[in-house]
Amino acid sequence: MKKQAFNPYLPSWEYIPDGEPYVFGDRVYVYGSHDFYNGYVFCMGDYVCWSAPVDNLGDWRYEGVIYPRNEDPLNKDGKMCLYAPDVTVGPDGRYYLYYVLDHVSVVSVAVSDTPAGRYGFYGYVHYEDGTRLGEREGDQPQFDPGLLTEGERTYLYTGFCARGDKSRTGAMATVLGPDMLTIVEDPVFVAPGCEYSEGTGFEGHEFFEAPSMRKVGDTYYFIYSSIVMHELCYATSKEPTKGFVYGGVLVSNCDLHMDSDKPADMPVAYGANNHGSMVEILGKWYIFYHRHTNGTWYSRQGCAEELTILPDGRIPQVELTSCGLNGGPLHGKGEYPAYIACRLFTDTPSVYVGGEKFPKIMQDGRDGDEEPGYIANIQDSATAGFKYFDCYGITKIKIRVRGYADGEFEVKTAWDGEVLARITVKNSNVWEEYASPITIPDGRQAIYLTYRGGGNASLLSFTLE
């Protein structure tokens, strides 16, 4: 039976950011880095892989560890982290995994005969004389490799450009030969960093990190994280290594710029860095990105939204939803976990994650414990939004709450809409269920829960009946 697809699309206890999605055969595979729940830095885990049938995007399967951090000869002691990877299929039909360790500036490569590995170390990207890319005089450090292979040529995109760092110019494209390691065309710059963007058309959305490339028809789409970090942007060209023109924002993990139901400059989720890419699945395009949990930068989870590519090639920015890969709204009745909230905010706006009074998505236990996610630190004015549901005949809503809180949850279908029900909650250190009659109009609706009162609550789930 087909499962509903949520955001995040993986289990609530899994933390796989920087997602690069690909369809191989009849499955979609996602490759990313691997954060830990309650981690203290980025990318603490080995590379793992998840996959799903192309016709059932709610049914994700764990493929296991595909590449351990100590497989690289430079990291035999395992002290370095595996940063965001990418995978491409070489001219020999094998699968090549590219990555950069966190304390070196060279690009490592691993290879496998199958999409989900296990991958084995293969070598380092290098010039014809053997010098590794990133170590020749004049090279800029390598970071966040993204790949596109066409025939016997593989285009490698790398780069990181922080504000104020004039030593970093922009995103680089390097062409590799059929052995997937040897450089046949030296690096060139394809998108500017913020220190070199004047007059380029990229101003305000300059390249920061996370380069990725996809081809749609005869157009190359360069996807990247901009200098403001929370947004994924794109630029287009008819050639893979030059001529890129800024196109726009694809997604913001705090939903900035979206004005369909709120002011465009109002953040409604707690964002930070972003990384992801596009994929076509059964004729539909999606953008994969990540969100931040646990009130920190270091426990990120993969999400996805459906894209619309217009006839002229432009891609409008998509809003954050709870049902990105579902193909439409979620069923309008049943119990839903609170961790699928796509909007989370208070009366104090914040673009970036962190803050003692902000709600956060977290879990009990330690990393790896298969404990359900929930929303914690719910204080006065905290709002959780869930989008969208195909509502019909709803007459009752129930919530599961714990914590030392004495107040009520307002139920609305818009963040600033009419209060349709009020659910009183009381102090409890275990999950308690509370209910209220409600009339929600039939049709496609959002559900918003806003807490008013004292104390600090946690929300595990809500049920529409």
Q: Quick one: which of 284, 31, 241, 271 has its CA closest to 154?
A: 241
| Residues 343 and 282 both lie in one domain | no
How far lies 327's CA from each of 22, 155, 245, 340, 416, in Å?
Answer: 18, 32, 31, 16, 27
Task: Mention every residue, 6+ apart, whose C-beta is less than 8 A from residue 132.
Answer: 106, 107, 124, 125, 126
Domain of 233, CATH number, reads: 2.115.10.20
Q: Quickly list DSSP for 258-319.
A: --SSS-TT---S-B-----EEEEETTEEEEEEEEE-TTSSS-EEEEEEEE---TTS--PPPP
Q: What confidence score (pLDDT) does residue 214 get?
A: 98
Closest CA to 257 of 310, 316, 197: 316
* Residue 126: DSSP 8-state: B
Summarize pLDDT for 63-99 with one digit per residue, the tens. 999 999 999 999 999 999 999 999 999 999 999 999 9
Residue 142 and residue 65 share a domain: yes
Q: Is residue 146 part of a domain?
A: yes
Q: Kindly state whether residue 323 falls inside one of the protein's structural domains.
A: no
Phi first, then psi, for residue 224 (nearest 5°) are -160, 165
d(Cα 376, Cα 356) in Å, to the nearest integer?
A: 11
Low-confidence ranges of the chain (pLDDT < 70): none
Tokens for 395? 């007459």
CA distances from 450 to 156, 234, 414 (A): 46, 35, 11
Total domains, the chain: 2
Bridge partners, residue 458, by sequence: 402
Amino acid letter, 303: C
> Is 45 within the bounds of a domain?
yes
Domain final residue pick, 275, 307, 339: 307
pLDDT at 168: 97
pLDDT, tens only, 94-121: 999 999 999 999 999 999 999 999 999 9
Give the domain range for residue 160: 20-307
Do the domain assignments include residue 128?
Answer: yes
> What is the structure's pLDDT at 1?
72
The Cα–Cα gap between 290 and 14 comes to 12
Do 220 and 354 lie in one domain? The reply is no
**Do 158 and 231 belong together in one domain?**
yes
User: Considering the domain boundaries, does residue 10 fall inside one?
Assistant: no
Identify which of 44, 12, 17 has the alpha carbon closest to the alpha carbon of residue 32: 17
Task: Say yes or no: 176 and 261 in one domain.
Answer: yes
Query: Has this prediction a pTM greater than 0.85?
Result: yes
Residues 195 and 282 in one domain: yes
Q: Is residue 319 part of a domain?
A: no
Residues 34 and 165 in one domain: yes
Q: Answer whether the bond into residue 336 is a cis peptide, omega within 30°.
A: no
Which residues are marked as active site? Answer: 18, 209
Q: Are residues 262 and 346 in the same domain?
A: no
How far apart are the C-alpha atoms of 152 and 170, rounded to whole Å?
Answer: 26
Q: Residue 356, class by beta-carbon neighbours within 10 Å (0-12 exposed, 13-18 middle, 19+ buried)?
A: exposed
Residue where one domain finishes, among candidates 260, 276, 307: 307
Which tokens hold the place of 17?
Answer: 């950011």
Q: Are residues 85 and 172 in the same domain?
A: yes
Using CA atoms, how far apart are residues 15 and 302, in angstroms rounded to an integer? 7
Residue 211: C-alpha distances to residues 225, 316, 330, 432 (Å): 7, 19, 32, 45
Domain boundary among 307, 322, 345: 307
CA angle, corner 188, sides to 185 and 192, nearest 5?
165
Q: Could you tell me the CATH number of the domain that includes residue 405?
A: 2.60.120.260
Same domain, 393 and 251: no
